[in-house]
A and B are shown apart, each in its own frame.
Chain A
């Protein structure tokens, strides 16, 4: 490979990093008297792994739910590329290209692993009742394509051997992988993962880390809530830290980990 080619690739990568994919502007959300999110603003750039950390109850999952349309926000604006996401129902947010996983795994328990991923294809396919009943050529093609993609995704996350087992009967780590495969089946431009490593053992974490890096290498942008500091520090390009619904820091992992406000939030003021 010539030097100029490498240079081109580097510069195009830098350009990509400067393109904001997700823009959250001054988002606020209150539950009764509790201000869960106050004026949160952040930008996730295309191609990066962006980490969202903070102590328990900081508002990380609330922000995820607001982003994905499960909660309506009181003020502010959420954009993915140029499309407004706030005020839209969850399925439209997904159509726009933002897929997610859940902290407490939410698979379709009585469906097989393969069927779970096939449900993920729903948003990107169109066949309806008539097509299904008459098995029209278009529907058959679409089904074959969906099955092919679903099998490929199961292989990709490493659970191809479980394709025909019920989701509820998969080992815990594989359930998390299946949730990622289902989200990937929706062809997202941004994948939001809510504590993907929770409850995983060391080997499972290492494998998850590999998978996430591979996804990034393939051009997917990741937004990650995670408690495992080691995983976050090693994986994320940038981080935002939430505490009591307020963003207290943002930057590279090195910058954030030295920030006195972050140390105070995690260890208490006395630690300073």
Chain B
């Protein structure tokens, strides 16, 4: 028993060390831009885990998820940029943005409670677009969002005199902005993972899955389906709002263009590709779909090395290969790349 515990702590220790050193290894091996991508990938892990609560657990196909991401980002931009001249600290804005997104999750979820499947997807898609179009046009009569130009010069995360946008030197290591951002994002991502894991194996998590499996039976088994669906929308939206705030501080600039339908679909793809409702699968899906398209940018170099010239524009080839990969996964691993133990058990039962 104590040996098991010891080896578990050892594994944890190794994992923690690996995650701590990762940005330096990536920086040395692949370059600074990849550290930046790593930050972005962590952001998408948070988003995907948030949507996973709505789609994976409660089974509510939400195609407007990016609206909550946008909301979190704009709340951050309003309260920490020259746009309104407000510069509140990040630890006040992030929870506020997340909470406001959660509230909007309930507001947008409430009218859709009676809808299921395709119909729910269409309505949520509409809500997502409504928010984006609002952001695009709310520069008059009062300039709230600065319209399509977006909001610029958003404050980076700063605690006292310690800003994440400047390099700091500690123990002879130089931590640049992207490195420090990595640690902040990692910390919050771990928190989101932790919350997801705890919820999955709880009274609430089981009730969500029960609603996904059979809503009528769930209601007849004593589950208040209305409240629990709203709770799923709210939890998912809260994570989305948190990621949005981080995104705004990280980029320093946001515009409605960042929050289009494609983004919602991409986050949904991460979940479906990785393994719906299964936390390791969702994390893997998010990392893969953020990093793979970037890696495929190198297809131009490969072509030049192989054939001496570029036949297919890397930008086109990238999307082509990406699409092919998606089709292949859905054909050969329809349950996702890392399906949950349930799926594996189903397979075992079928054999036995």
Contacts and interface: CB of A to CB of B under 8 A. Distances in A.
Contact of B204 (A95, A100, A132, A134): A132
B214 interface: yes
Interface stretch (B215-223, B252-260, B281-289, B315-323): B215-223
Chain B: interface residue count, which band?
Answer: 20 to 34
A135 B198 CA distance: 8
Contacts of A132: 198-199, 202-205
Q: At the interface, is chain B mostly helix, strand, loop or mixed?
A: helix
Contacts of B220: 68, 70, 90-91, 94, 99-100, 102, 106
B207 interface: yes
B206 interface: yes
Contacts of A100: 220
A186 B222 contact: yes
A182 interface: yes
Contacts of B349: 165-166, 169
Nearest to B197: A133
A171 to B, nearest CB: 12
Nearest to A192: B220
B223 A129 contact: no
B227 to A, nearest CB: 9
A166 B221 contact: no
Interface string B144-172: 00000000000000000000000000000
A123 interface: yes
B7 interface: no
A70 B349 CA distance: 34
Interface residues of A, number: 47
Contacts of B235: 129
Interface string A76-114: 000000000000011100110001101000111111100
A122 B222 contact: yes
Contact of B216 (A70, A142, A169): A70
A127 B219 contact: no
Contacts of A90: 216, 219-220
B213 A109 contact: yes
A115 interface: yes
B205 to A, nearest CB: 7
Interface string B326-352: 000000000000000010011001100
A216 to B, nearest CB: 22
A258 B330 CA distance: 62
Contacts of B218: 108, 119
A128 B346 contact: no
Contacts of B231: 129
A51 interface: no
B206 A118 contact: yes
A142 to B, nearest CB: 8
B210 interface: yes
A131 to B, nearest CB: 8
Given A110-B213, A166-B342, A169-B349, A115 B221 contact: no
A270 to B, nearest CB: 40
B44 to A, nearest CB: 22
Interface in B181-240: 194-195, 198-199, 202-207, 209-210, 213-214, 216-225, 231, 235
A110 B208 CA distance: 12
B234 to A, nearest CB: 9
11 contacts: A110-B213, A111-B213, A112-B342, A118-B203, A119-B218, A125-B203, A127-B204, A143-B203, A168-B346, A169-B346, A186-B221
A142 B220 CA distance: 22
Contacts of B203: 118, 121-122, 125, 127-128, 132, 142-143, 146
A108 B219 CA distance: 12
A196 interface: no
B233 to A, nearest CB: 13
B222 A95 contact: yes
A128 B225 CA distance: 15
B278 to A, nearest CB: 12
A110 B222 contact: no
**Residue picked from A94, A122, A139, A166, most chain B C-beta under 10 Å:** A122
B201 to A, nearest CB: 8
A110 B221 CA distance: 16
B209 A91 contact: no
Given A127-B203, A129-B199, A132-B199, A182 B209 contact: no
A119 B223 contact: yes
**Residue picked from B206, B207, B222, B342, most chain A C-beta under 10 Å:** B222
A169 B220 CA distance: 22
